[in-house]
Amino acid sequence: MQRLANPAQFLRLSKQLQPWLAAASVLLIGAGLYFALLVSPADYQQGQTVRIMYVHVPSAWLGMVGYSTMALASAVGLIWKHPLADLVAKAAAPIGASFTFLCLATGSLWGKPMWGTWWAWDARLTSMLILLFLYLGYMALQSAFDDPSRGARASAILALAGFINVPVIKFSVDWWKTLHQPASLLKVSGPAIHPAMLTPLLLMVTGFTCFFVVVLLIRVRSEIIASKIRAIRLTQIHGTREEPLADHAVG
């Protein structure tokens, strides 16, 4: 962890990991699609619409993983003032927001034929919509400051305050009456789902998670470079020889 905190080390490791993660993601999602669309059976109640589950559940998972990554990185950034942590939080936000949007959109396409409605103001759906707004608010707040470190601080506080929503989403199906079905995978008693559907679901969830990490690494690299560019431009303007932000962050 300490070594990862050094941006130069991080860049080296992320370049080594990236091709493996990308290959794993392609293979897992490829196999997942094969099982999800061709091998797995239709649901006895939901018919073929159950196949939407194989993209809906990974999207929901990554919407929450994205937010947890962002909140954890924000906490590290706030407490230890670590510049790389701020960049990780910033890089995670658009990815998590995209998956949260996909979760809501695929859920809507699943809800119409099965529940008879595109949308309902119920606990699970509403808390997921709040998650999307938290992401959007986070990104807006971050870009509202000229000084990136002040923007990172303000948005880190928002990310942490909003983290309370993540357990609310997870347990919303148990706490309130809702249209949404209860958890099938992450249960104390183990997954309540037939292996024929569990296989494609797990393949898709792990494949999408690899994809998430690949895009996260790309975006963190991109943010590190942006902060170097900013540092060089500042040096040119002020004529001093400041070290770039990302270079002296050895923890």
CA distance 238 to 225: 20
CB closer to another protein, 113 vs 182 = 113
Smallest distance, another protein to C-beta of residue 175, A: 27
Q: How many helices (H) and strands (E) does the chain have?
A: 7, 0
Binding residues vs another protein (CB under 8 A)? 7-8, 11-12, 37-38, 42, 47-49, 51-52, 55-56, 59, 94-95, 98, 101-102, 105-106, 109-110, 112-113, 208, 211, 214-215, 218-219, 221-222, 225-226, 228-229, 232-233, 235-236, 241, 247
CB closer to another protein, 56 vs 153 = 56
CB closer to another protein, 59 vs 74 = 59
Q: What does the CA dihedral 215, 166, 109, 186 come to, rounded to 10 degrees?
A: 90
CB closer to another protein, 59 vs 127 = 59
Bridge partner list, 43: 47
Q: Which residues contact 207 (CB under 8 A, 6 or more apart)?
A: 24, 25, 26, 27, 28, 29, 30, 31, 32, 58
Contact 130, 165 (CB under 8 A): yes
Smallest distance, another protein to C-beta of residue 119, A: 14
CB closer to another protein, 51 vs 153 = 51
Pair of tokens at residue 7 = 């941006």
For residue 117, what is the DSSP state? -
Smallest distance, another protein to C-beta of residue 115, A: 12
Smallest distance, another protein to C-beta of residue 137, A: 20
Smallest distance, another protein to C-beta of residue 214, A: 8
- In which region does residue 47 sit, left (phi positive, over 0), alpha (psi from -120 to 50) or beta (all else)? left
CB closer to another protein, 24 vs 160 = 24
Smallest distance, another protein to C-beta of residue 166, A: 21
